[in-house]
Each structure stands twice: as C-alpha cells, then as structure tokens.
Structure 1
Amino acid sequence: MDRVRVLVVDDDPPIADLVATVARYEGWEAVTAHSGEEALRRAAAFRPDIVVLDLMLPDVDGFGVLDGLRSSGRMVPVVFLTARDGVADRVAGLTRGGDDYLVKPFAVEELMARLRTVLRRSAGPDFRRSVLRVGDLSLDEDTREVRRGEHLLALTPTEYEVLRYLMRRSPTVLTKAQILDHVWEYGFGGRANVVELVVSRLRRKLDATGAPLIRTVRGFGYVIRQAAE
C-alpha cells in the first residue's frame, strides 16, 4: 500500500502544523490548508486519502468544504476537528457526510487512532494495520502489542514510547536529547540519564528472546537495527 495522504485544514497554522507533523511521524504524507477555498484547491491537486477539517474557517466553513468535496464526486473520508462542541454541530457534521467528529482541545494520539479507524472502515479489510517491524521485532500501533518472534513482551508505557520512536526512525541514530524531547517533551529538563535507564530495561526485555537490536553509537545516541546474520 502507498503512503496514506492526509489533508489538514485549520485556520490556526500551529494546530495544522502539529497534526501534519504527527501524521508524518506515522509515515504518512501530509499537507495543510488554512481556508476553505485553499482546502478545495489542495484536495483537487493532492487527492488525499483522508481529510482533517476544522469547521470555523475564514471563508467557506467546514460544512461548505465538505459539501464541495462531495459535490465534486470525492468520497474521501472526513474527520472534523473543531472547537464547536454543540450537539447540533456534531449531528450536522455526521449527517452531512462526515465520518467522525473530535472536539478541541484534543489529544493527538486519540486523533491518530480515530484517523486509522476511519481509514480501515472506508478502505475495507485490505487496509493494513500500523505495524512497525525491525527484524523479528514487531510493534502494533493499534493494539500496542510488542512481539519478538512469537513472544509477547510486557512493556511499560514509557518503554513502549521509546521503542516506538526508535523503530519509527530506524535505521536513523537518535540522540538522547531527541528521545527526551519526543517521549518526555519538557518534563525532564534534559536529564539524559533517564533515557539510559529506559533503554537498559528495553534491552533486557528484547535480548531475552533474541540477538541484540538496540545499538549504542558512542558519543551520539541509540539506533535499532536488525541483528547481523
């Protein structure tokens, strides 16, 4: 399957950029638009697989964008992401052809989970789950199950997020600062030792059922790669 293409429509550029960045971490292609007219132009050129759509736009509102997409014959799934939390808005969004409706403020993980669900539903049984693989290690982003071969691994939420980030970026070497910023954001004030502790615990769990996968690049950071033959 080709990479998923997502169009993010929001008149607040930081929100649009945040959603697009998270989508790119998923391995998707993402473009943004900040008005209704721009959204329709981008949709015609980009041909997205799914649209994240705000209702409150400076020209054509989100309902108008949805109507424009549908009148042009585009049955691309649409997930509304908006601050309008009234029941009437939710009902209108879904009855006029939207596929889901999420209210701001929102959690990006919930948004991505909803997007994956809508894509599976719209694409049918052939849509692939989001499964990351490095050698015989697999991480299912939908079920959060991690397996080494046939062995199901029990990871803490933090161990899971560190492993997920390493697998997403493999075979790129990641610095401790990058891992801190991605997993902990600003909560640990640059204390790299917490990364060392989590990676150490991960290694013990991964290496118990196979050859080492997480490598230390001295003076730089960590990388996860398939074990050498």
Structure 2
Amino acid sequence: MNEVIIGSTLSALSTGLGAVPILFFRSVTHRWRDILLALTAGIMVAASMFSLIPQALAASNMLVLCSGVLLGTLVLTVLEMIVPHIDLDHSSLHVKMDTQSLLILSAITLHNIPEGLSVGVSYSSEQQGLGGLIAFAIGLQNAPEGFLVALFLINQNLSRFKSFLLATLTGTVEIFSSLLGYYLTNFVKGLVPYGLSFAAGAMLFIVYKELIPESHGDGNARSATFSFIIGLLIMIYLIEWAG
C-alpha cells in the first residue's frame, strides 16, 4: 500500500516538476521538447509491449486483452475529444483566465485519471516492480505536459507561481485514481488483467496520437527517432533488471 502511495505521488508530482522551468523562463526549444517527447514515447511503448500486455496475457486470454486495450483506447479517445490541444506556441489561446479556461483545466485534470488508474492497477500485478516501472513511464509523460499547462496559464495572464501551482494540481488527481485502481483490482482479482490491458491501450493511444506526431512536427524527426529507440532500450533494460 505504501508503495502505491509513493509511486503514484512521485508520478503525479512529475507534472509539477515539468512546470518548474516556467518559474525561470517562458520558452523551450522545439528540438529538446521533441527529443523528450520521443524518449517518453519509447519508454511507454516498451512498458506496454514488454510488461503490461505479457502480464495481462499470462493472467487471462486474448479476449480479455483485446477488450481491455480497446476500452483504454476508447476512453482516451473520448477524453481527447473534450480536452483542448495545448500547443507550445499558443497562437490561438490568448484569452483571459475565465470560465472557459477553468473548464480547460478541468478537462486536462480529467485526462489524468486513466493514467493514475494505470499506475494503481500495475501495483496490483503479481510481477515484482511493475508498478514502479509504470509509475516511472507515466511520470515522464507528465513532465512535458506540466510545462505546457503552466505555459498556457501564463498566457492567460496568471503569475508564474500560480501557473506552476495550478499545473501541479492538475496531476494530483492521479494519486486518487491510482488508489482507486489499486483497490478495485486488489479486491476483485479478476479485474487485474483487464486493468493491465486498459493501461496498455491508454498508453499506446497517448504514444501514437500525441507523443510521436508532436515529436515529428518541427523538423526534428531524425533526432526524435534516435531518442525514441533509446527510450525503448532504457525501458527494456529496466524491465529486465526489475524482473
């Protein structure tokens, strides 16, 4: 139980960690952002394909796996429809911090719920160290997201500190959703393979729909590709080390 709380907290607070640079400057080069996004994509693909999916199959069958993966993809698809896309340049997001902006923050917070569930479910798995690995992967994905959210808030005329604080708070929902996922799968053992499959589907959706396209959009495809492969190898090594 303590491991779940610690892992989910560190993963959630990665959102705030990613927002820390906003306290000192308002921009980041596209090249380094793309490299970080691609590295994260590689880590998340390896976590899904070499940990979550094999564990789900070992505990169930193809029907359960397909159901969970498709459900995770569907949930993220629905959330993606209601969560506005936050671009680094924010060329079209120059409005005051009003009800619309608060709704955007609420939607982004809602988007973090499946990620927290993924962490909690992973801690319920029988594989030693899986929870920590998934928390690490989700945490890496949260860092650039935290920076973009804080950057968006600054463009809504909020102070740097308030922008940092609100960006950090959007990630805290993962702590509660992680505990929910852990309790559900811990007390209803049949849900574990569904939960692992759901987590894999959600992570693969994030990779293919968001991280890879974003990392290739500014002419940095080659460096992003190498970064993706390095991230993949890093996570495979960590999986083998934890196993």
TM range (shorter): under 0.3
**TM-score, normalised to structure 1's length?**
0.26
Which is bigger in relative contact order (C-alpha 8 A, separation at least 6)?
A: 2
Structure with a larger share of its residues in helix: 2
Structure with a larger share of its residues in strand: 1
**TM-score, normalised to structure 2's length?**
0.24
